[in-house]
Amino acid sequence: MSKTIAITGACSGLGLEFVKQYIALGNKVIAIDMNGGELVRLEQEYPDNFKGKKADLLAIEDYSEFITSFLAEFGPIDLFINNAGIVKVGAFDSVDEADFDRVMKLNFSVMAKFTHYLIGHMEERGSGSIMNVASVAGHVPCPFTASYSASKFAIVGLTKSLQIELEYRKSPVQLQLVSPGFVKTSLHKNQDLGVFAAGFEKMAESASKCVSEVIKKQEKGDDFIAPTLNGTLMLKIDWLSPKISKFMSRVISSKNYKQMLGLEKIDKL
C-alpha cells in the first residue's frame, strides 16, 4: 500500500536517497528543504509522487504552526523522517559559537520540536510513524566533531526516552531511532576532514546501501536501526571495551605513528 512520507534535508545525502528509494517503492514523498532549485528539479523528475516544501528550518518562528499548516497543505503523513543535519569539524575551542549553536539547533532542537508537535497530530489521527536520524556519533564519542556528537547524543537520549513514554501510554505512534556509521554523503564532502578523510573513505558505506537497510528495518518496526556494518562494529566495540574504542578513534585521527601511540599530541585533524 502506498504511503505518504515527509523528509527533512531531502535534497542531498541520505535525504535524497530516501526520496529516490521510497518513490521507487511506489510511495508519495514530500520533501522539506531550503534548496528550492533542487526541489523544483525533483518535482519535474517525479511529477506524480513528489512535492517540495521550501523552508529554512533554522528560521521558523513557530514550529507548532509550521507543522499544523504543513499537514493542512499536504494531508496526513504516514512516516515523518527527521533527517536534516549539519556537521562542523574542528577542535571544540576553535569552533565559532554561532556555528556550534547552528549545529545544535538544526540537528537536535528542530528535530525535537517537530517530534513534539507531530506526536500530538498523529495520536489524534490514530496512527503514524516518526523516524529520527541520529548517528553512531550519538553513542560513541567523536573527537573534533564535538558539537555534532553532542547533538546526536541528545537525539539518542530524547528518542529512547520518548519511545518508553509512548509505550507506557499505549500510543499509536511509532518512534524509531536510526544511527548510521560512516556513510559517503555531501555532509562530509563539504568539510575539510584532513587525515581523517583517508580512513573515512575506506570505511564509509554507500548512501544507497544504508537507506535500503533503513527502509527494510523500518517496515519491520524496529525501534533501533543501525544500518551500516562499520557503525554496528563501532557500537559493539565501544560496548565491549571503551578503551579499544578510544584507541580506534586515536588511530583514525592520527597523522603518524607517534600520534597513534600517544607520544605526540593531536590538536587538530
Give the per-residue pLDDT at 195. Answer: 46
pLDDT band at 222 (very low <50, low <70, confident <90, very high): very high
Q: Which range has highest mean pLDDT (18-22, 87-91, 180-184, 204-208)?
A: 18-22
State mean pLDDT over 241-267.
81
| Architecture of the CATH domain 4-230 | 3-Layer(aba) Sandwich (3.40)
User: Which residues, 6 or more positions from 128, have their beta carbon under 8 angstroms from its beta carbon?
Assistant: 76, 77, 78, 79, 80, 118, 121, 122, 172, 173, 174
pLDDT band at 2 (very low <50, low <70, confident <90, very high): very high
**Does position 65 have pLDDT exceeding 90, yes or no?**
yes
**Does position 120 have pLDDT exceeding 80, yes or no?**
yes
Give the per-residue pLDDT at 202. Answer: 65
**Does position 227 have pLDDT exceeding 90, yes or no?**
yes
Percentage of residues of the chain with pLDDT beyond 70: 93
Whether the pTM exceeds 0.85: the reply is yes
State mean pLDDT over 222-248.
93
CA distance from start to end of the chain: 47
**Does position 199 have pLDDT exceeding 80, yes or no?**
no
Cβ of 206: how many Cβ atoms within 10 Å?
13
**Per-residue b or e along 97-112, where b marks 16 or more CB atoms closer than 10 Å to that residue's CB:** eeebeebbbbbbbbbb
What does the alpha-carbon distance between residue 265 and residue 268 come to, in Å, rounded to a whole number? Answer: 9
State mean pLDDT over 244-263.
79
- Please give the residue that has the higher pLDDT: either 164 or 204: 164
- Stretch among 21-30, 98-107, 200-209, 228-237 having the lowest mean pLDDT: 200-209
**Does position 229 have pLDDT exceeding 90, yes or no?**
yes
State mean pLDDT over 36-52.
98
Give the per-residue pLDDT at 119. Answer: 98
